[in-house]
Structure 1
Amino acid sequence: MTQPDFSVSNESIVRNAIQEMIMNHELEPGDKLPSENELADSFKMKRIVVRNALLQLEKMGLLDSRQGIGRFVKEKMPVIELDMTGKRSFSGKMQEQGVPYESRVIFADYASGKEQEKYRATLGVGADVSIYKVARLRIVNHVPCAIHISFIREDMVPDISRETDQLSSIFNYYSSKGYTNLTSGGTQIHTTFPTLNEQRQLECLELVPLIVYESHTADVDRDIMLEQTRILYRSDLFKHSLGSVN
């Protein structure tokens, strides 16, 4: 069977060339790029092609545009090292690294009907068990960088709907209820691009990839699952230690 020809657009050629220059340190953070006209002459492309390629690089978080001045290679923010064992709280991991950190609850209520059905099946519980949803915005170095969503069995923490002021750290909340020996499992990892709402929450543009971790949290002593989690990380801000994932 003949494979169709794979064509690369002129915009992709320009974008990839500039991206490689950044990756190879030919362009460093803070460096000013040549003007659109200069780049068009260099690549022997139309100016509109160069402009579109540069706009894509801005949306990918690689360039900054300063009105009346030009485009610059974006300054890199500190990359945060993170392991995914589930044995320590996120806030504890940040404290160990001396990183300014805030956890802000942006949603705490019962999950939607479809989510109830999905996560009851995932957690192996019947229709008599309600699923409580808690979403937290992780703010590290004063930058929103992750959304952590927990789908929690209400029967394991029956007072949760009345204790929403204690949910900025679910790890600590579980500990206060006697669940102190926790582990994560069933981890699945994939990538996605942010929705419009996620762009607003994470303060990023639509071409900044998100790394999505989905796993369950279990109490080891009782051998029972407590929750299913879905965490969306800005890929430009985290370095993940995969060797520690169960």
Structure 2
Amino acid sequence: MPDETTTPMAEKRHTSTRPEPGESQSLAHALRDELERMILETGLRPGDRLPSENELIARHKVGRTTVREAFRLLEQEGFVQSRQGLGRFVRARPTVQRPLTRLEGVTDMLASRGFQVTNTVLSVKLDEPAATERAALGLSPGHTVIRLERLRTHDDDAVVYSIDVFNRAIFDQPISEIDWTGSLFTLFEEAGHPISAAVATVSAVHLGAEQSERLGMPSDTAWLLLAQEHNDSDGKPILLSQDYHRGSDFSFQVHRQRKD
């Protein structure tokens, strides 16, 4: 097991102090992300053993419940396998496989998988919303939307093609002054409208001939379209996104559980 230096997830608490509601869950998600990064950055292979619960408790200064919840999340996402009496081990995974239950922006998702991504803005413009877009976003007559079209490439190959539509009123500054090449989730959060939930539909598609030519991809390339309606923390719909993921590089997991 490679030795590494990590930053504690939280300051050490006195034994008499109990976490605030929701704090343990937040620490578990942070630890999950830290373990995922460790696996990717240290070159661990499928079958390699992960640190024990006691090692992680000492290293990150968190409780056993937090460690077990972090492992549970990784196991649920198919990243880690538990073997009774032996510990937890890295599982084999496709190049990029994401659980649909995890809500994250495309930029963050690709970065977490080690993709060296170039994010190109193909177009950004003010536009009249279509009737379906107006209804989905709950816009009154007269409201315009920002229509953002972007392409993510890795080693000069297109991996994700995105179209995002959202209310112009969310951003105060001129759209020409906004850097659209980074995380859209971050921009929304900085504007005071953090995205907290989404309803997603996944379908297998082919792009039209014109779009394929524009992206420099063969017209028979298979794409996984993730169409989402995003809500802010108040449950208000604020973003419609269509993310086309190249089918040869992506798959998405759905955790299914049989009810008694």
TM-score, normalized by length of structure 2? 0.55
Find the partner of 1:224 among 210, 213, 236: 236
> How many Å apart are 1:122 and its aligned residue?
1.8
Find the partner of 1:173 among 181, 187, 194: 187
Deviates more, 1:195-204 or 1:227-236: 195-204
Higher relative contact order, structure no. (Cα contacts within 8 Å, ≥ 6 residues apart): 1
In 1: Cα distance, 2:181 partner to 2:247 partner = 25
> After superposition, what is the alpha-carbon deviation per residue over 1:139-170, rounded to whole angstroms, capped at 9, x for unaligned?
13442112111110112224352434345321
> How many Å apart are 1:225 and its aligned residue?
1.2
In 2: Cα distance, 1:119 partner to 1:228 partner = 8
For structure 1, list consecutive stretches of 5 or more residues without a partner in the other structure.
1-77
In 2: Cα distance, 1:232 partner to 1:241 partner = 16
In 2: Cα distance, 1:86 partner to 1:130 partner = 30
The AA in structure 1 aligned to 2:132 is: K
The AA in structure 2 aligned to 1:161 is: I
Find the partner of 2:133 among 119, 143, 146: 119
> Which structure is larger by alpha-carbon Rg, 1 or 2?
1
Q: Does 1:193 align with 2:209?
A: no
RMSD of Structure 2 on Structure 1 (CA):
2.4
Find the partner of 2:146 among 132, 140, 150: 132
For structure 2, list consecutive stretches of 5 or more residues without a partner in the other structure.
1-93
The residue that corresponds to 2:216 in the other structure is 203
> How many Å apart are 1:119 and its aligned residue?
0.8
The residue that corresponds to 1:144 in the other structure is 158
> After superposition, what is the alpha-carbon deviation per residue over 1:31-52, rounded to whole angstroms, capped at 9, x for unaligned?
xxxxxxxxxxxxxxxxxxxxxx
> After superposition, what is the alpha-carbon deviation per residue over 1:173-231, rounded to whole angstroms, capped at 9, x for unaligned?
1122123352211x2222222212321344321222222121111112x2211111111
In 2: Cα distance, 1:116 partner to 1:86 partner = 29
> After superposition, what is the alpha-carbon deviation per residue over 1:63-116, rounded to whole angstroms, capped at 9, x for unaligned?
xxxxxxxxxxxxxxx8322344563232222222222112211110023x4x43
Gap change, CA 1:86 and 1:126, over 3 Å in 2: farther
The AA in structure 1 aligned to 2:162 is: H
Q: Does 1:154 align with 2:162?
A: no
TM-score, normalized by length of structure 1? 0.58
Find the partner of 2:96 among 75, 80, 83: 80
In 2: Cα distance, 1:160 partner to 1:184 partner = 27
Q: Does 1:236 align with 2:248?
A: yes
The AA in structure 2 aligned to 1:174 is: F
- Give the share of equivalent positions with the same residue, in percent: 13
Gap change, CA 1:166 and 1:145, over 3 Å in 2: closer
Give the secondary structure class of the aligned counterpart of 2:114: coil
